[in-house]
């Protein structure tokens, strides 16, 4: 498509004269054979404007400004579909095995700032990223998430390609939902098939479970498996090797055998049901009770490789604590040593990326990974962008921020249940003693961050009219203070990204 911005500025002139307050997103302007497309903010809503003598597929309202005739289109699903057809750069593409960054955006308004923050870092942005759990908690659909990313890309005039990650998919129905929405990255979460108890089993019990693994689905026999693993030293590069004991082999296979067969089943389903759909697979075992041992990692990927499942990334559960919304807690030296060995395994079995889940605010971990400077990485963040939204609210609408914090605090006992966090709400400073201008400092306070973080679902969607009111006010505040919001997001992501650059 021929694209040129210059001639269009003539057309913008009457628009600007008539509506001096109209916010035109200049990076969005696309001119093509006499047709012009651009985005504006009118009041609190963003629109796509089309100037064309011929009819387009977009639907909207015809408006005239002087003798300038324009179609003013709401950012609805139908228009997003037309946008992706007409402008392929607004469609997600595969990330492949290059460094990439997941920029989950639970509110659907952070994409522009995310793109600005990531530009020049060398990371491929995965702009649309939401887990099934997040979709349920925010009351959004996978289509909503992708549409927000496509509009952000168009608004910023960004042509560099972006990814769309359906995170933590547990069933084939989840795959259907994510394919139908147009996503291209599929993060398989087989955690329901992990047998955590294996670690505490006696030999006889282990043997029993081992024998009863779904060997036909694994296209394997117990004897063959043991022949391949017992007494074997797996040598990796960088001088590392792994020599698992018999006990480790049985325990590892009992714990992860069904994870392997389930992952194979999910991968086959995706390939066979949607043969033409561009797709890449991540496997996430980050939500298990215990850290993934090096042998367990090797076992999972070597068996998947044997079964023909190719991964673009794998998320082990690393040592230490990756709690939501705060920095890593644990032994960084141990993390460094294990990370290097996980990398050596990844290198040997396909060169996939190591994926860091719960990646929000793990600054010290990024220093370590950045300093190792080997292999490739994928980082997933989401909650931290919600917290930057709240930092903006704390600055711009203190009354709303106080209400959200009190509400989140009241929800804490309930909302923390599905998370691994250690926040203590009693450590949150007394709100009454804080001046409005001090509120934003609460976003640098770990206990407050976690209390706010885990309540996002209740604030945005979970509590009927209360949530509807919160979400409306939150979105309005962020739109009215977009510059502040973008600068908060940008600054915060620079902290995430700098250690890698």
Residues identified as active-site: 167, 282
Give, in degrees to the nearest 5, the angle at Cα 500 between 497 and 501. Answer: 90
Residues 137-196 that bind Zn ion (CB under 5 A): none
Stretch of residues binding Zn ion (CB under 5 A), selected from 81-89, 104-112, 352-360, 402-410: 352-360
| Contact predicate 344/236, CB 8 Å | yes
**Which lies closer to Zn ion via its Cβ, residue 132 or residue 460?**
132
Task: Provide the phi-psi class of 123: left if phi over 0, else alpha when psi is between -120 and 50, else beta.
Answer: beta
Does 357 contact Zn ion by CB under 5 A? yes
Stretch of residues binding Zn ion (CB under 5 A), selected from 113-121, 277-285, 288-296, 297-305: 277-285
Residue 53: CB minimum distance to Zn ion, A: 50
**Which lies closer to Zn ion via its Cβ, residue 313 or residue 408?**
313
DSSP alpha helix (H) spans, 307-426: 332-348, 363-372, 383-396, 398-415
198 CB neighbour count, 10 Å cutoff: 19
Stretch of residues binding Zn ion (CB under 5 A), selected from 224-232, 266-274, 283-291, 466-474: 283-291
Site string for Zn ion, 285-314 (x = CB under 5 A): -x----------------------------
480 CB neighbour count, 10 Å cutoff: 13
**Residues 6 or more apart whose Cβ sits within 8 Å of residue 199:** 251, 255, 290
**Residues 6 or more apart whose Cβ sits within 8 Å of residue 481:** 392, 395, 396
**Which lies closer to Zn ion via its Cβ, residue 184 or residue 284?**
284
Site string for Zn ion, 232-271 (x = CB under 5 A): ----------------------------------------
Residue 315: CB minimum distance to Zn ion, A: 6
Tokens at 52, concatenated: 């064309």
Residue 280: CB minimum distance to Zn ion, A: 17
Give dist(CA 110, CA 458) in Å, integer: 20
64 CB neighbour count, 10 Å cutoff: 8
| Contact predicate 123/380, CB 8 Å | no
353 - beta bridge partners?
313
Q: Give whole-number Cα distances, 169 to 150, 162, 179, 205, 282, in Å.
A: 22, 20, 11, 30, 10
Stretch of residues binding Zn ion (CB under 5 A), selected from 41-49, 278-286, 454-462, 470-478: 278-286
Residue 30: CB minimum distance to Zn ion, A: 36
**Which lies closer to Zn ion via its Cβ, residue 286 or residue 388?**
286
Q: Please tell me what DSSP assigns to residue 430.
A: P
**Which lies closer to Zn ion via its Cβ, residue 284 or residue 448?**
284
Please give the distance of CA 86 from its chain centroid, rounded to a whole number: 26
**Which lies closer to Zn ion via its Cβ, residue 105 or residue 220?**
105
**Residues 6 or more apart whose Cβ sits within 8 Å of residue 80:** 143, 146, 147, 150, 151
**Which lies closer to Zn ion via its Cβ, residue 49 or residue 126?**
126
Does 378 contact Zn ion by CB under 5 A? no
In 3D space, the residue among 476, 393, 405, 487 whose CA is nearest the CA of residue 440 turns out to be 393
> With contacts defined by CB under 5 A, how many residues of the chain interact with Zn ion?
3
Provide φ and ψ at 44, rounded to 5°: -100, 5
Residue 318: CB minimum distance to Zn ion, A: 11
Residue 224: CB minimum distance to Zn ion, A: 33
Stretch of residues binding Zn ion (CB under 5 A), selected from 218-226, 353-361, 463-471, 486-494: 353-361
Residue 142: CB minimum distance to Zn ion, A: 17
Residue 323: CB minimum distance to Zn ion, A: 13
**Which lies closer to Zn ion via its Cβ, residue 220 or residue 361?**
361
Name the closest residue to Zn ion (Cβ): 357
Q: Which residues bind Zn ion (CB under 5 A)?
A: 284, 286, 357
């Amino acid at each position: 498509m021929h694209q040129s911005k210059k001639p269009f500025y003539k057309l913008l002139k009457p628009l600007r004269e008539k509506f001096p307050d109209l916010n035109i997103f200049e990076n969005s302007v696309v001119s093509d054979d006499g047709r012009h497309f651009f985005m504006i903010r009118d009041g609190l809503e963003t629109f796509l404007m089309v100037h064309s003598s011929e009819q387009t597929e977009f639907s909207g309202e015809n408006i005239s400004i002087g003798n300038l005739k324009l179609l003013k289109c709401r950012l609805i699903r139908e228009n997003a579909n037309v946008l992706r057809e007409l402008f392929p750069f607004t469609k997600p593409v595969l990330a492949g095995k290059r460094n990439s960054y997941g920029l989950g955006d639970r509110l659907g308004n952070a994409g522009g700032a995310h793109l600005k923050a990531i530009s020049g870092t060398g990371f491929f942005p995965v702009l649309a990223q939401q887990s099934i759990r997040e979709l349920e908690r925010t009351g959004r659909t996978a289509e909503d998430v992708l549409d927000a990313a496509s509009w952000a890309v168009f608004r910023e005039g960004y042509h560099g390609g972006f990814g769309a990650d359906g995170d933590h998919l547990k069933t084939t129905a989840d795959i259907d939902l994510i394919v139908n929405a147009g996503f291209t990255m599929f993060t398989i979460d087989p955690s329901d098939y992990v047998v955590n108890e294996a670690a505490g089993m006696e030999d006889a019990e282990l043997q029993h479970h081992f024998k009863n693994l779904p060997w036909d689905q694994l296209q394997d026999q117990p004897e063959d498996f043991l022949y391949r693993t017992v007494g074997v030293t797996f040598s990796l590069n960088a001088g590392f090797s792994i020599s698992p004991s018999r006990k480790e082999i049985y325990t590892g296979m009992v714990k992860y055998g069904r994870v392997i067969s389930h992952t194979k089943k999910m991968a086959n389903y995706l390939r066979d049901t949607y043969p033409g759909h561009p797709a890449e697979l991540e496997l996430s075992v980050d939500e298990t009770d215990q850290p993934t041992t090096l042998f367990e990692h090797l076992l999972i990927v070597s068996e998947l490789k044997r079964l023909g499942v190719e991964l673009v990334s794998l998320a082990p559960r690393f040592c230490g604590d990756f709690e939501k919304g705060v920095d890593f807690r644990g032994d960084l030296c141990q993390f460094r040593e294990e990370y290097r060995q996980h990398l050596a395994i990844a290198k040997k079995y396909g060169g996939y990326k190591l994926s860091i889940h719960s990646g929000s605010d793990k600054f010290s971990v990024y220093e370590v990974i950045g300093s190792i400077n080997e292999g490739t990485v994928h980082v997933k963040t989401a909650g931290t962008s919600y917290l930057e939204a709240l930092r903006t609210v704390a600055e711009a609408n203190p009354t709303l921020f106080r209400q959200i914090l009190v509400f989140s605090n009241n929800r804490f006992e309930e909302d923390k249940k599905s998370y691994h966090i250690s926040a203590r709400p009693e450590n949150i400073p007394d709100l009454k003693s804080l001046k409005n201008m001090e509120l934003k400092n609460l976003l640098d306070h770990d206990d407050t961050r976690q209390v706010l973080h885990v309540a996002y679902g209740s604030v945005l969607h979970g509590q009927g009219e209360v949530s509807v009111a919160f979400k409306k006010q939150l979105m309005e505040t962020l739109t009215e203070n977009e510059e502040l919001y973008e600068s908060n997001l940008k600054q915060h992501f620079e902290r995430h990204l700098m250690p890698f650059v």
